[in-house]
């Protein structure tokens, strides 16, 4: 993959002198996020479930992750989402679609994927392999793992900055 020789951000309205890289990163993240959102919804639709939103798909994958029962709070924590209402709404939709089941344990409800939910994930994986994996260049693969670690680090910085902004 060729590296861009020119800055990604064309408009200087958010660029602070000496910190051009942060503006480029944020713009690149926005563009990538929107493309990923579109991909996840269309990929899931091609896998046979066009009625699921981005949030529904993300929640379904998180419930299935490592085949552990998940509480609403755990799902929100792992996905770094403060909006429990959106996750709760997605869980209700997934329950109604019989893609997850919930079991009350004490005051909590633990969610797990059903065989139908697992099939949706398997179908999505097939679509992803067919449509995306083939166009990922070999030299990009190591960079993806590095980028994932970088995004996790950046999420911590953005969380810290959000807390600081709340006190202004």
Span 10-26, pLDDT tens digits: 556 666 666 777 888 88
Report pLDDT for 27.
84
**What is the domain class of 18-140 according to CATH?**
mainly alpha
CA distance 61 to 52: 12
CA distance 143 to 79: 22
Between 1 and 49, where is the model more confident?
A: 49
> pTM higher than 0.75, yes or no?
yes
Q: Are 112 and 71 in contact (CB under 8 A)?
A: no
Q: What is the pLDDT of residues 114-167, one digit of tens each?
A: 999 999 999 999 999 999 988 988 888 889 989 999 999 999 999 999 999 999
Report pLDDT for 13.
61
Q: What is the pLDDT of residues 23-82, one digit of tens each?
A: 888 888 899 999 999 999 999 999 988 889 999 999 999 999 887 789 999 999 999 998
Q: What is the pLDDT of residues 108-120, one digit of tens each?
A: 999 999 999 999 9
Report pLDDT for 12.
60
CA distance 19 to 9: 12
Q: Are 24 and 11 in contact (CB under 8 A)?
A: no
Report pLDDT for 24.
82
């Amino acid at each position: 993959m060729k590296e861009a020789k020119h800055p990604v951000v064309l408009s200087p309205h958010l660029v602070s002198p000496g910190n051009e890289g942060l503006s480029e990163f944020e713009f690149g993240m926005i563009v990538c996020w929107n493309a990923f959102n579109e991909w996840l919804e269309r990929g899931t639709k091609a896998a046979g479930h066009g009625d699921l939103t981005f949030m529904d798909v993300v929640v379904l994958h998180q419930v299935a992750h490592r085949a552990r029962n998940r509480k609403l709070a755990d799902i929100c924590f792992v996905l770094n989402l403060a909006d429990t209402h959106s996750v709760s709404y997605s869980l209700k939709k997934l329950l109604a679609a019989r893609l997850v089941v919930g079991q009350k344990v004490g005051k909590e409800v633990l969610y797990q994927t059903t065989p139908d939910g697992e099939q949706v994930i398997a179908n999505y994986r097939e679509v992803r392999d067919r449509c995306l994996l083939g166009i990922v260049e070999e030299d990009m693969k190591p960079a993806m793992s590095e980028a994932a670690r970088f995004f996790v680090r950046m999420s911590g910085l953005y969380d810290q900055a959000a807390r600081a902004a709340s006190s202004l």
